[in-house]
Amino acid sequence: MPGFEVFGEEERQQVLEVLDSGVLFRYEFAAQRQGVYKVLEFEKAFAAYTGAGYAQAVSSGTAALKVALMALGVGAGDEVITQGFTFVATWEAILDCGAVPVFTEIDLTLNMDPTDLEKKITPKTRAIIPVHMLGAQARIEEIKAIADRHGIPVIEDTAQAAGGRLKGRHLGTFGACGTFSFDAVKTMTTGEGGMCITSDEVLWRCMSEYQDHGHDHVANPGGRGGEGRSFIGFNYRMMEVQGAIGLAQLAKLDSMVVAQKNNKNFLKDAAGVLPGVSFREILDPEGDSATFLTFMLPDREQAIAVAQVLRDSGAGAVHWCENTWHYYPNWEHLLAGKTLCHSGWPLAVHGKRRVVYDAAALPASAAIMDRTLTYQVPVVMTEEMKTRTSKALQAAARV
């Protein structure tokens, strides 16, 4: 990743079709657009690719989570369970609905621990969001079985795992809804943008209407502005230019995953020189989207020492205990309840905290993350990059 590494004539031609039509808006303007509906075409292609019944394009992966949560009726007073290792967008979307995020431990898949999930379910639990973090499968079959026993819908956060599969089935199709991100560093990218997929027509229709101010999109004599609305919504629409780029990138996705697998295998072999190294558990290596290589050292001290040598050698890896975007104990704004709202909403109401998060609440996750390092896997890996990374890992093996 990311997909801009293979931008070429295909993306250019798709975008030029939009520019030639002069219509950037995904709806209406039928007379001017010359039959060009790129977002609609992208939705249909993505649904067909994943095997989902329906796809709804939106403005970002974060928006996809918010749209899915709202379509499922999540709101104030509800709890939504997710994992303590994820990008901040997962729990930001939960809070933005007025609900409270509840965090589970991760296991050696670096994804939601189903055993801890079972412990965190309460009568207030309205949805569960496992994350296929760093491109590899969560224990989604176990998670879905637990959720089904409790009658709770599952939203799969598949932001980092487009093209990933489990036993041949696309990630994002196991739950009620799957959400994807196409931002600038994703394997397939539209710069910004996201997608929701589902096989539930009612849920899709709710998402379709919510992301466009609640408009029902029923054809009417007056054109846009004459639609009806069953409920209030917001604006999370995708632009035609994004849809155009998405079509070109989607056509390349499987080949990008193949390239990433080859480069990941190289990196894994190179990292094998580290004393005591082990690797993240991958439930289905064949279905891995191979966007990241993640490896563990025996303890935190060795991970810190190795990370420093790699940085000094120009081949730095992410040491998760230092990362502020993805790791629960480092989300200082969440832990402190910081918000622009004078009342403290959504973490407080009129000055009274609704929930208080303890930085030490996920000790099993901390024990894993403290000793975990990750390389982002490029689609295109030069010989110079391979040589530099191999030499850095060899140097790190001597610390």
DSSP string for 230-288: SS---B-PPPHHHHHHHHHHHHHHHHHHHHHHHHHHHHHHHHTTSTT-EE---S-GGG-
Structure tokens at 183: 């931002």
349 - beta bridge partners?
352
- Under DSSP, is residue 156 helix (H, G, I), strand (E, B) or coil? strand
Give the pLDDT band (50/70/90) at residue 218. confident
Q: What local confidence, expressed as pLDDT, does residue 226 receive?
A: 77
- What residue type is assigned to position 250 of the chain? L
Candidate from 5-9, 171-175, 223-227 with smallest mean pLDDT: 223-227
Q: d(Cα 323, Cα 372) in Å, to the nearest integer? A: 11
Q: What local confidence, expressed as pLDDT, does residue 121 receive?
A: 98
Report pLDDT digits (tens) over 5-58: 999 999 999 999 999 999 999 998 988 998 999 999 999 999 999 999 999 999
Would you name the residues annotated as active-site residues?
186
Mean pLDDT of the region 218-245: 88
Place of tokens 């969560």: 138
Give the pLDDT band (50/70/90) at residue 224. confident
Is residue 324 scored above 90 in pLDDT?
no
Tell me the chain's radius of gyration from C-alpha atoms: 22
Domain boundaries, the chain: 3-252, 253-396
Report pLDDT digits (tens) over 292-308: 999 999 999 999 999 99
Phi, psi of 374, deg, nearest 5? -140, 140
Question: DSSP state, 224?
Answer: T
- Residue 7, judged by CB atoms within 10 A of its CB (0-12, 13-18, 19+), counts as middle
- Residue 286, judged by CB atoms within 10 A of its CB (0-12, 13-18, 19+), counts as exposed
Structure tokens at 255: 């080949």
Give the pLDDT band (50/70/90) at residue 350. confident
Q: d(Cα 31, Cα 11) in Å, to the nearest integer? A: 25
- Residue 68, judged by CB atoms within 10 A of its CB (0-12, 13-18, 19+), counts as buried
Q: What local confidence, expressed as pLDDT, does residue 160 receive?
A: 97
Q: Which CATH entry fits the domain spanning 253-396: 3.30.830.10, 3.90.1150.10, 3.30.565.10, 3.40.50.10540?
A: 3.90.1150.10
- Under DSSP, is residue 347 helix (H, G, I), strand (E, B) or coil? coil
Is residue 76 scored above 80 in pLDDT?
yes
User: Is it true that domain 3-252 has CATH number 1.10.510.10?
Assistant: no
Angle between helical axes of 240-271 and 9-21 (0-180°, round to 10):
160
293 - beta bridge partners?
375
Is residue 135 scored above 80 in pLDDT?
yes
Place of tokens 């205990």: 321
- What residue type is assigned to position 36 of the chain? V
Q: What local confidence, expressed as pLDDT, does residue 161 receive?
A: 98
Give the pLDDT band (50/70/90) at residue 351. confident
Q: What is the mean pLDDT of the chain?
A: 96
Mean pLDDT of the region 91-118: 98
Q: What local confidence, expressed as pLDDT, does residue 221 receive?
A: 62
Structure tokens at 87: 């990008």
Is residue 170 scored above 70 in pLDDT?
yes
Mean pLDDT of the region 93-100: 97
* Cβ 373 vs Cβ 306: under 8 Å: yes
User: By C-alpha distance, which of 157, 155, 242, 229 is closest to 193?
Assistant: 242
Q: Pairing between strand 348-349 and 352-353?
A: antiparallel
Tally of CA atoms within 13 A in the half-sphere of 267 that contains its CB: 28
